[in-house]
Structure 1
Amino acid sequence: MDETVKPLRIPPQISVYADKHNILHLVQSMLSSLVIDQPEDPITYLISLLQRSTFDSPRVVLLGPPAVGKHTVAKKLSSELRAVHVTLQSLLSDQSELSTQTQNTEQELPAELLVRLIQQRLNQIDCFNRGWVLEGIPQSRLQALSLQQAGVIPEHVVMLEAPDDVLLERTRGKLVDPLTGDVYHQNFIWPDDDAVAERLETDQSRIERQRLADLQHYRREVTGLSSAYQHVLKVINSDQPHTDVYQQVLSFIRTRSYCRTPRILLLGPPGSGKSHQARLLSEKYKMVDVCCGQLLRSVAADGSDLGQEIQPYLDDGRPVPDSLVLKVLDERLSRVDCSCRGWILHGFPRDLQQAKSLQQTQIQPNRFHLVTRPAPSSEVQNRLKTRPEDSAHTLTHTLSQYRTHTAALQSVYPAGVHIDADQDPRSVFETLESLLTAH
């Protein structure tokens, strides 16, 4: 190795700090807002963003067919999140000149008019500071795309669903509180307050034929709406108790797509498939695959001073001292490719002391996975032999050591997620992938 040319290194503390304070997400959000809003005074605009009481103000779209329960969920959601509840009715009841121009339009507004109404409302200070919940808007793919082009981009889109026969049954029993506008149902949702129950009225806003037409219109548009929001969409079955529906919606809304550079630690016994899963993840997500054993052999072969210290241990089949391993890992994981693309480390740590030493170097993973698949028999252990050190005796000893240290390692990485690797490798990968991409 040419000692005069040293790879650029980025201290690992930077990534740890960025994760802790969501710096990457903050920068991404601010840049996105700048590009979308294009303010005349960018500095003042960014300062106002940072001065929000909550920077991650909710931006939610709640969709679904008539009588699916949108209004009830949206009203409760906006109350709990302290966000502004925006409906088509509230937009049209506004006293602004623009809303007055739309009073005589049909239910589905022209996309251009709808966009102008929504922009006017969401630009008001309450929506800017507290966030918003759009109920039943947009109503078509054209409206959705027009809103996106105008910079109205939700972070979460919930689509409530139920069979048509259930929806039609709900419309027949729909009741409305004339004072609050809250929606109830004589069979499904009944108010706890007797005073409210006494003043409920039958919903006269739509005749039966119109309700059926509204449902048919939604069914024609639902595929286009889904495709417009596919990356932020969750479909929830509303044909279940209202409390369960709401909790599923709330759980989804509270997830955040934080931008984080993945730093993955794969732990598991010999033969559990760590190397194979690391390779699959590396190939798909372009992360750096860091196998500790291969890395040590590579450094030993490069002729560097550190490599010359490591070589005798490899020649004799002795464990490389932790101090040397940590030097190698610190150098490799702080290179630009690992800092920018992320990394997957496997083969280290193997015991409690190694795990604690790794933490002290500021090399801190943000994803932990314990791949559990011990070799079920000596025949399988013999089959796993690919190098001289992979004898059945060595594997049995290594497996025993792993079992001894497993509990201690779990105490260091309590957030570790267990995956049963005693299944097809592709199934293991799909499980692993779903956990890594979860919010």
Structure 2
Amino acid sequence: MDETVKPLRIPLQMSVYADKHNILHLVQDMVSSLVIDQPEDPISYLISLLQRSSVDGPRVVLLGPPAVGKHTVAKKLSAELRAVHVTLDSLLQNQSELSAQARQYTLTEQELPDELLVRLIQMRLKEVDCFNRGWVLEGIPQTRLQALSLQQVGVIPEHVVMLDAPDDVLLERSQGKLVDPLTGDVYHQTFIWPADNTVAERLEKRQGLSERQRLAELQRYRCEVTGLSSAYKHVLKEISGDQPPTDIYQQVLAFVRTRYRSRTPRILLLGPPGSGKSLQARLLSEKYKMVDVCCGQLLRSVAADGSVLGEEIHPYLDDGRPVPDSLVLQVLQERLSQVDCSCRGWILHGFPCDLQQAKSLQESQHQPNRVFFLEMTDDVCLERISLRATDPVSGERFHAVTRPAPSSDVQNRLKIRPEDDTHTVTHTLRQYRTHTAVLQSLYPDAVHINADQDPHSVFEALESRLTAD
């Protein structure tokens, strides 16, 4: 091996560009399609895929028990997103040979085999209109096995909405169901009544299931719902169907308009002292292998390494003075430019503390793509900080409640840091509150999380927003 050859370094600008233009999401979609379809000519296939416009088309599955309002929501959602509305009835009405085969089962009141249903759906969703515009699949799949079979053939939704309501509400709705014979829209004499009198006059009450059949259908759904939820748990949103139709639809639309992206995480954690930034950064780093970049610890590490930059920083730390922004930024840029941060992503806390620092970070090549504010009152912050101490041997910080010392030896040598005394913390809190408003204005899309709850609940709230735009 030629030892003079330098290892390949991926420039930081590449990951920034990839995030900005959703390149990773595009590549993920293309590779998934390639593996599932296994074309004879992969290059021509990928070129064709790039020339078509469906990469960002919606892929939505809308599930729920009978009479919960799936059809109304799916029809309205399809019109809003300009996506194809796919139902079991529309699949059976198709003019293909496969649809004709499926109709034979319905004519003899036999249950459609899962394999045939999956093939019908796969064939329909590969047609040009679904490929280009996206699709909303209503009421299918009905079982976990169907869901897994669809995933195996490449029918993978980006969003799954599961509506639900109490059984007594569903039974009452099914009894008062009315249909517009011209449009197929579903109404109800109590829950949903058309505003147009002309429409109201032509509504029909269709021959429906008996009460016994309705109960059987509902019971069947209840038996399958847990398996369906587990099959789609990473893209699932459960929404109550026992509320005004407008509220239901707005919640569904808001969820479907979120986009899940594969991005290299560059996370900024902001919050007052004691809000749990260090703990949450450690938890995220341990689970997702991101680099935990605590600005204070990083400065102390550089000051102790004997470098020229460390020699410049050392006097400020010894005297308890703030390190100049220019030196802090230099240290941060060197750390965030390293390969582990570029490849695995990072989570930064302890910086920025004011508008000028935040602007400097924004003007660098290390802009965060997710910003979280941990919210907490000053009283709770002071109470929390009074329960924490640092091990002078390892430098690790412990907390009497959330992270107690692992042994009595460690507990006995714990020290309260000077910056954690009540007077210093009160001053730091006052400074944080002074700069909070301008920091929030610089990061208008930041997510605000209530940090006054147990650490695992805070972590779950952070985790749920890691991949959502």
RMSD in angstroms over aligned alpha carbons?
A: 2.8
Which residue of 1 is the match for residue 404 of structure 2?
Answer: none
Which residue of 2 is the match for residue 282 of structure 1?
Answer: 285
Classify 1:72/1:302 alpha carbon distance in 2 versus 1 (closer, same or farther; 3 Å). same
Where in structure 2 are the equivalents of 1:209-288 lying within 5 Å?
209-288=212-291
Which residue of 2 is the match for residue 167 of structure 1?
Answer: 170
Which residue of 2 is the match for residue 21 of structure 1?
Answer: 21
Which residue of 1 is the match for residue 348 of structure 2?
Answer: 345
Counterpart CA distance in 1 for 2:269 and 2:47 is 41
Task: Note if 1:50 corresponds to 2:50.
Answer: yes
More displaced stretch, 305-314 vs 90-99: 305-314
Task: Note if 1:140 corresponds to 2:143.
Answer: yes
Query: For residue 50 of structure 1, what is the amino acid of its counterpart?
Result: L
Which residue of 2 is the match for residue 71 of structure 1?
Answer: 71
Structure 1 residue 203: deviation in Å? 1.0
Structure 1 residue 290: deviation in Å? 0.8
Counterpart CA distance in 1 for 2:332 and 2:180 is 65
Classify 1:183/1:267 alpha carbon distance in 2 versus 1 (closer, same or farther; 3 Å). closer
Structure 1 residue 394: deviation in Å? 4.2
Is the CA contact 1:261–1:341 (under 8 Å) kept in the aligned structure 2? yes
Q: TM-score, length-normalised on structure 1?
A: 0.89
Counterpart CA distance in 1 for 2:419 and 2:85 is 65
Question: Of the candidates 411, 416, 423, which is equivalent to residue 446 of structure 2?
Answer: 416
Task: Note if 1:117 corresponds to 2:120.
Answer: yes
Is the CA contact 2:143–2:228 (under 8 Å) kept in the aligned structure 1? yes
Counterpart CA distance in 1 for 2:64 and 2:351 is 49
Counterpart CA distance in 1 for 2:116 and 2:385 is 69
Is the CA contact 2:29–2:55 (under 8 Å) kept in the aligned structure 1? no
Classify 1:96/1:273 alpha carbon distance in 2 versus 1 (closer, same or farther; 3 Å). closer
Where in structure 2 are the equivalents of 1:295-306 lying within 5 Å?
295-306=298-309
Is the CA contact 1:261–1:340 (under 8 Å) kept in the aligned structure 2? yes
Structure 1 residue 363: deviation in Å? 1.6
Query: For residue 363 of structure 2, what is the amino acid of its counterpart?
Result: Q
Is the CA contact 1:367–1:436 (under 8 Å) kept in the aligned structure 2? yes
Cα distance per residue 1:188-209 (max 9 Å; x no partner): 2222332322222211153444
More displaced stretch, 247-256 vs 272-281: 272-281
**What SS is found at the alignment partner of 1:266?**
strand
- The number of residue pairs the alignment matches comes to 435
Query: For residue 410 of structure 1, what is the amino acid of its counterpart?
Result: Q
Counterpart CA distance in 2 for 1:165 and 1:340 is 53
Is the CA contact 1:372–1:422 (under 8 Å) kept in the aligned structure 2? yes
Query: For residue 229 of structure 1, what is the amino acid of its counterpart?
Result: Y
Classify 1:273/1:140 alpha carbon distance in 2 versus 1 (closer, same or farther; 3 Å). closer
Where does the alignment leave 5 or more consecutive residues of structure 1 unmatched? Answer: none
Cα distance per residue 1:123-160 (max 9 Å; x no partner): 21111111111112122222222212121111112222
Query: For residue 406 of structure 1, what is the amino acid of its counterpart?
Result: T
Classify 1:390/1:166 alpha carbon distance in 2 versus 1 (closer, same or farther; 3 Å). closer
Structure 1 residue 422: deviation in Å? 4.4
Higher relative contact order (CA 8 A, sep 6+): 1
**What SS is found at the alignment partner of 2:103?**
coil
Classify 1:405/1:89 alpha carbon distance in 2 versus 1 (closer, same or farther; 3 Å). closer
Q: TM-score, length-normalised on structure 2?
A: 0.84
Is the CA contact 1:375–1:381 (under 8 Å) kept in the aligned structure 2? no
Is the CA contact 1:271–1:375 (under 8 Å) kept in the aligned structure 2? no
Classify 1:8/1:423 alpha carbon distance in 2 versus 1 (closer, same or farther; 3 Å). farther
Counterpart CA distance in 2 for 1:258 and 1:67 is 34
Counterpart CA distance in 2 for 1:50 and 1:108 is 39
Question: Of the candidates 108, 131, 136, which is equivalent to residue 134 of structure 2?
Answer: 131
Counterpart CA distance in 2 for 1:234 and 1:382 is 40
More displaced stretch, 43-52 vs 283-292: 43-52
Structure 1 residue 295: deviation in Å? 1.0
